[in-house]
A and B are shown apart, each in its own frame.
Chain A
């Protein structure tokens, strides 16, 4: 059974870069066939796709966030990461990592981690 677990600081100051990591267990990122995804949810709002990465390192990003995003993968540790630069209060959200088939079908999700942007 594939499991994903997000980890991050919980609190980030405005204008800083937020960094989150997703650790995958029960399956290898290196084996391919799936896209490793980040999705966020603002308090009381709907789902917002951030982007995903394939094991080869190919990335796809939400066009509205692209200029501030970096998603990377480390197959040696079976982790993938998200960096969002120049954060504002609008980036306060629960961030989920997930395994996606590439077309928006994500069967496995992390439990989510709340990231608050505040000074």
Chain B
């Protein structure tokens, strides 16, 4: 079946540091890939997505590129802020499945 593996956390960075959160997936066919963010006490918010190979999703300074050859969708940001502290989830959705499969999440803490 489909699965998503995220780098183990938590991740602690200083403000303005470079962020990478690794995500790899296993799926049949050509899934769409997503990054969601969850702030304390809230539901998930879609951060960015990519629906086909080599697509780059971007939003609020975050980027991720759909790499089919390595089955990866790593999240990057060039300069993190304290307000980026949250839990980040990588997810996939296969066109035939009608549901999303999530990784276990990576907790990011950014210190001033």
Does A associate with B in a complex?
Answer: no
